[in-house]
Amino acid sequence: MAILDIVTFPEPSLKKVSEPVETIDDELKTLIENMGETMFHDAGVGLAAPQVGVNRRVVVYDPNAGEEQKDPEDKTFTALINPEILSKSKETFTSENEGCLSIVDYRSDVKRHSSVTVRAMNLDGETIEFEAHGLMSVIMQHEIDHLDGILFIDRISALKRTMYKKKRLKQLKNEQ
């Protein structure tokens, strides 16, 4: 397994809609293993393929995210291929302090649906469908947004987004 480089804002590829996966082959399985390793290495709870520079509809996430008694050595992750949100609850809540591995040094409150129903394929090519609530709902919405070229900063106020963009561009300029 390998740790992959995380693509960060303002990389234009993060704004592209990802292509559906047609075939589950060894190359895809290796990508998924590497994404899982990368997610845990960078202390994430979810990771979408576009975040590692691959324009395909694949996400991985930590199914134990948010559990108090989580064993730090447990590196179990779940992969979803071609995930889609089938339905969203009418109820919403504010996901406090939401962050992203591709959005450097920034967190914000984001309005999200309390629950979502997701359909995807697993690594065996079987169609699965499940309902996600709370933190899992946030993870699903956040990661599937990535597949559609949407970043969480696209879901905050224009003022906050502009302030972050200015800060990030200045940070990048200073790194040169």
Domains of the chain, each with CATH number or no CATH: 12-175 (3.90.45.10)
What percent of the chain stands above pLDDT 90?
A: 87
Under a CB-based contact definition with an 8 Å cutoff, are residues 44 and 101 in contact? yes
What's the whole-model pTM score?
0.93
pLDDT tens digits along 89-118: 999 999 889 999 999 999 999 999 999 999
Q: Catalytic one among 67, 131, 143, 175? A: 143
**Per-residue model confidence as pLDDT tens digits over 141-174:** 999 999 999 999 999 999 999 999 999 999 989 9
Rounded distance between C-alpha atoms, residue 1 and residue 160, angstroms: 37
Q: Is 143 a catalytic residue?
A: yes
* Distance set, CA 132 to CA 135, 137, 139 (Å): 8, 5, 9
What mean pLDDT is predicted for residues 82-93? 97
